[in-house]
Amino acid sequence: MKKLILYTVIFITPFIVTIIVIEYLLRKIPNSHMVKADEFKTKVKQTKILILGNSHAANAINPELLSKEAYNLAQGAQTLDIDYALLTKHQDQLDSLEYIIVSMSYHSLWFKLSDLEYFKWMAKYNNIYFNIDIEHNPLKMFLFLDEPIKKDLEYIKLYYWNKRPITFNYINGFIPAPPTSDLEKIEKHGKSVAEGFTVQDLTFRYNENLRCLESIIQIAKKKHSKVIFITIPCYPTYIDNLNKEQLNSMHHLMDSIQDNKNVFYYDFLEDARNYTLQDFNNGDHLSYIGAQKVTCKVDSLIKVIEGKNGKQ
C-alpha cells in the first residue's frame, strides 16, 4: 500500500508542478485588470475622485481633465456588484476620497457579470488581480482552466519566447478610444447594442443591484464623500432603440435616490444628439474626443456642488 501511494505521488508530482508553473506564467502576462490593479495601488491614497462603472465610464471620464486627483477604476462589463466589491476592498486606503462617480447605464440595474457568458473571464480577473472574491468558487481562481493546456502554452510562448509586447495606454485608468468614421457601422451597432441591453423581466437582478447602490452610498457617507451617478451619452441610434419602460424605471429609481446634497444623478444621455460622429468610438462608447466633453462637464458640476457647500 505504501509503495502504491509512493508511486502515485511520484507519478502525479510532475503534472502538479507543471500546472503550477503554467498558472504562474499566465498570471504574469499583462492584462487590463493587472495593469489597473497595480497602478491603483500606487495612487489609492491620494485619489480624491474615484470613478467606477462599466466601459461607458471607462471610455468617458479622463482623470487628467478633472481638477482633483482622480482614478478611473471602471472596466468593460463591470457591473454594480463589482463596483461595490472594489469600493469595499479599498475603502480603508482611500484616505483622500471626496467623490465617487458611478456610471448608471440603461442596463445597469438588470445585469450581473456572472450572467454575461462572453465576459465571465472578467470575473476571474477581478478575483485574482483585485483580490475580490465575487464568485465564491476556488476553481474560479485559476487561469489555466480557461483554455485547453495547448492554448495556454501558446499564450506563454507568444509572450515569453516570441517577446510579443502587450501594452495598455491608460491615463490614470481612463481608456482613450479612437473616433469612428464609419457612419453605417455605428448606426447599426447602436441599435443592436440597445436591443441586447433590453430585458424582458424588470424585476430580474433589480433588488440585488439596488442593494449594491445603497451600499455604495453608505460607504460614501462613512467616508464623508459624495456620490455622483452619471448616464453617459451614447450614439442616437442607441437612444432611439431603448425600451421606454426600462429606461423610465432606471430614471425613476435614480430620481428617488438622489438628494442633491450627498447623492447626485446626472443624465447626459440625450447630450449625444448634439455630438458629432468623431465624438464616438462605436454605438455605445465615446471616443477620447467625446470623453473630453463629458469630463469637462463633470468637472464643472463638481465645482458647482462645492460652491453650494462653500468649499474652496
What does the CA dihedral 63, 169, 87, 107 come to, rounded to 10 degrees?
90
pTM for the model: 0.93
If one looks up domain 32-116+171-308 in CATH, what number appears? 3.40.50.1110
From the centroid of its chain, how far is CA 2?
52
- pLDDT tens sequence across 59-69: 999 999 999 99
Query: Quick one: pLDDT band at residue 236, thresholds 50, 70, 90?
Result: very high
Q: Which long-range contacts (CB under 8 A, 24 or more apart) does 65-68 make?
A: 65/292, 65/295, 65/296, 65/299, 66/295, 66/298, 66/299, 66/302, 67/299, 67/302, 67/303, 68/98, 68/99, 68/302
Q: What percent of the chain has pLDDT over 70?
A: 96
What are residue 71's phi and psi, to 5 degrees?
A: -140, 135
Tell me the CA distances in angstroms from 2 to 7, 11, 15, 254, one per residue in order.
9, 14, 21, 66
- pLDDT tens sequence across 138-186: 777 888 888 888 898 998 998 988 887 788 889 999 999 999 999 999 9
pLDDT surpasses 60 at 310:
yes
Residue 238's pLDDT is what? Answer: 98
Look up cell 436591443; give the residue.
Answer: 195
Give the pLDDT mean for 228-246. 98
Residue 9's pLDDT is what? Answer: 67
Give the pLDDT mean for 42-52. 98
